[in-house]
Structure 1
């Protein structure tokens, strides 16, 4: 996965810069998200791996998956990816593009796992505290994980804050065992 991200990074940065220049970051984000879904489809993967099809034809078939007429810039981008045999990178490119967008808009998506359902008031307090701490607008997604026993686990990108009872017990057991 790290290799795919490494290969996708320059494409994502280039397309993000182009989208910014065109004031079309939202449009590109949506189009890339759809293209990533198409590229992740098992049947499409088989077509993209077919050595009997030219790269031009693969790009055309891929573009035909879109219901609406593609903007010329997106069609050209797909063609460049096809020529370089990189259409399979679209999911990673889309993900990196979304990260660039979140950085531009100073937003962060956070997943919180709790042992019990959080009330709207608790969620708002968590959003406010994390917004102050991270200096970003927080988009919160919460889920219930009863195996935590109590407390919360906060995840965003590479950051994980484990303030759960299960996590504390595991750290205590590790400290006692060493």
Structure 2
């Protein structure tokens, strides 16, 4: 997965730059999502991996499936990726593009994991604190994990805070063991 992300990043950055220049972030977002969905179809994934098919044959299948929804630039991306045997990274290209788009739009995605259901008041406080911390509109996904015992974990991209009771107990146990 990490290797595919490394492969995907330059393509996503190039598409992002192109879409910003043309003021077409939303259109590219949709087109990349569609291409990623097609590439993940089991039959298409098998075709992409099969060396018996040429890059042109694979691109023509994408073109046929997408129809009018495939732009000239989108076909260019497919051709470049197919020529370099990188089509298996299409879903990662879409994911990296969405991250770049969110950053440009000053939107951030966060995951908050708590031991119990988060109350409306807690959600308001967390939202305000995260919006201020990241100077952006933070879209928060709330999850529950009873194994945390108490407290919360917050993940925003590479940034994370583990304020769970489980984590604190583990740290205490490690300190006592020394």
5 Å-filtered alignment, 1:19-98, equals 19-66=19-66, 68-98=68-98
Change (3 A) 1:67 1:149: farther
Stretches of structure 1 lacking an aligned partner (at least 5 in a row): none
SS at match of 2:52: coil
Task: Give the paired residue count.
Answer: 178
| RMSD value, Cα | 1.4
For residues 131 and 52 of structure 1, what CA distance do their matches in structure 2 show? 51
Whole-Å separation in 2 of the counterparts to 1:73 and 1:154: 38
Q: CA deviation at 1:137?
A: 1.1
Tell me the CA shift for residue 37 of structure 1.
Answer: 2.3
- For 1:67 and 1:59, the matched residues in 2 are separated by 12
Q: Which runs of 5+ in 2 are unaligned?
A: none
Instruction: Give the drift of 1:80.
Output: 1.5
Quote the offset at 1:3 in angstroms.
2.1
Measure the CA separation in 2 of the matches of 1:114 and 1:81.
41
TM-score, normalization by structure 2: 0.93
Following the alignment from structure 1 to structure 2, what is the Cα–Cα distance between the partners of residues 21 and 83? Answer: 25
Structure 2 CA distance, aligned partners of 1:41 and 1:174? 46
